[in-house]
Amino acid sequence: MGDLGDEPWTMVQKKGNQFVVNGKPFYVNGFNTYWLMVFAVDQSTRGKVSEVFQQAASVGLTVCRTLAFNDGQWRALQKSPSVYDEEVFKALDFVVSEARKYKIRLILSLVNNWEGYGGKAQYVKWGKEAGLNLTSDDDFFSHPTLRSYYKANTVLNRVNTFTNITYKEDPTIFAWELMNEPRCTSDPTGDKLQSWIQEMAVYVKSMDPKHLLEIGLEGFYGPSTPDKVQVNPNTYAQQVGTDFIRNHLVLGVDFASVHIYPDSWISQSITDAHLDFTRSWMQAHIEDSEKYLGMPVVFAEFGVSSEDDGYNSSFRDTLISTVYKVLLNSTRKGGSGAGSLLWQLFPDGTDYMDDGYAIVLSKSPSTSNIIALQSTRLMMFNSKCARNCRWSCHKKHPLDAFLFHDDL
């Protein structure tokens, strides 16, 4: 596989329901580490950014999803609307340049739905300070001034101080994410959030037509598909203002995102029902991405918390293997299952940031092996497909037993 390392570093593109790089398929095995920019601000913790990339690369992970926002908080990137902290921006520059060194591409999220690192609540707070009459955090989606605050984001036009490459020209960036886990509970019809997605997708694409774009959704089915809401993990999920198929049909959106948290959505006690849900949830979204959307789908967060009742590392391994197996089955058929991103990868010595979901590879050899095996399978599949010059090739191949062996 050594020849793959010498390929030109070019933009990830989309061809039908698959990603491509240099004209070859690009199936994703990746991870989340949300705090990279914050750690990179301080010289005493900056090394942890390099460490996590080095460790991720060692098990073949190729994409990292992380925050490109921190609004109005401690070590804020955006201190007030359109006012940025240059030192924090340089920290984000470092993250992007360091990712490139390790041949890891980044999905950069532009704002949070939740209050962590500012989120829509911070935008509403800024609006109130400017004298606007705002009554809900969901005014973020509808008020024209708050929409203008979002559009004033300068991250896309940033020139990296380490590489001198403008972000919107940098192939290290895999995609932009409009928002982490958008929800608009004040409008269960979904119209308010849909309008915001429509405006911002076209806007971001007009600023940067070269990169891929995704919304950041969790994947809940909504009012536009009443026949599908039974796939949701609970009845509340259809009332949060999101609508998987309708939202992803918006002009400018290139691929679908789905999160998988049975331990948050179904029950905090570990059972095999979590695995059954994971399979059916993934299968439904892969099929719908093929049938209705004609685009790849990335399972952009999945994991299990060590704080759950009945948790053990062997269950975590089983959950990860389950996700990987569903994706391999899609890959074998040339389907829309384009990859997954673990939540979340941590280097040694960062336990104080652990939300229960942290995976430290050096302490988890069995998990490391499962991740590395998936990376190898996807890399070989990408290579095999390229050599046969065919999509979803059905010819028997000596690698097939290794690529798709059920004993995962």
Q: Percent of the chain scored above 70 by pLDDT? A: 93
Task: Tell me how far CA of residue 29 lies from CA of 119, 123, 162, 378, 392, in angstroms.
Answer: 27, 33, 27, 8, 18
Helices (H), 59-158: 86-101, 119-129, 139-142, 144-151
Across 187-307, the runs of DSSP E, i.e. the strands, are: 212-214, 256-260, 297-302
Q: What is the pLDDT of residues 12-54, one digit of tens each?
A: 999 999 999 999 999 999 999 999 999 999 999 999 999 999 9
Q: What is the pLDDT of residues 115-127, one digit of tens each?
A: 999 999 999 999 9
Active site residue 177: no
Active site residue 214: no
Q: What is the pLDDT of residues 80-94, one digit of tens each?
A: 999 999 999 999 999
How crowded is residue 332: how many other Cβ atoms within 10 Å of its Cβ? 16
Task: Return the pLDDT at 381.
Answer: 83
Averaged pLDDT score across all residues of the chain: 94
Task: Return the pLDDT at 407.
Answer: 44
Q: What is the pLDDT of residues 304-333, one digit of tens each?
A: 999 999 999 999 999 999 999 999 999 999
Q: If pLDDT is split at 50, 70 and 90, which confidence band does 150 have?
A: very high
Write down all domains in the chain, each with its CATH number in brackets: 16-404 (3.20.20.80)
* Catalytic residue chosen out of the listed positions 98, 218, 290, 301: 301
* Catalytic residue chosen out of the listed positions 98, 181, 218, 290: 181
Task: Return the pLDDT at 222.
Answer: 98
**Which pTM does this prediction carry?**
0.95
Check if the beta carbon of residue 263 is closer than 8 Å to that of residue 224: no
Q: If pLDDT is split at 50, 70 and 90, which confidence band does 382 have?
A: confident
Q: What is the pLDDT of residues 276-291, one digit of tens each?
A: 999 999 999 999 999 9
Check if the beta carbon of residue 333 is closer than 8 Å to that of residue 392: yes
Check if the beta carbon of residue 169 is closer than 8 Å to that of residue 162: no
The residue-averaged pLDDT of 334-358 equals: 96
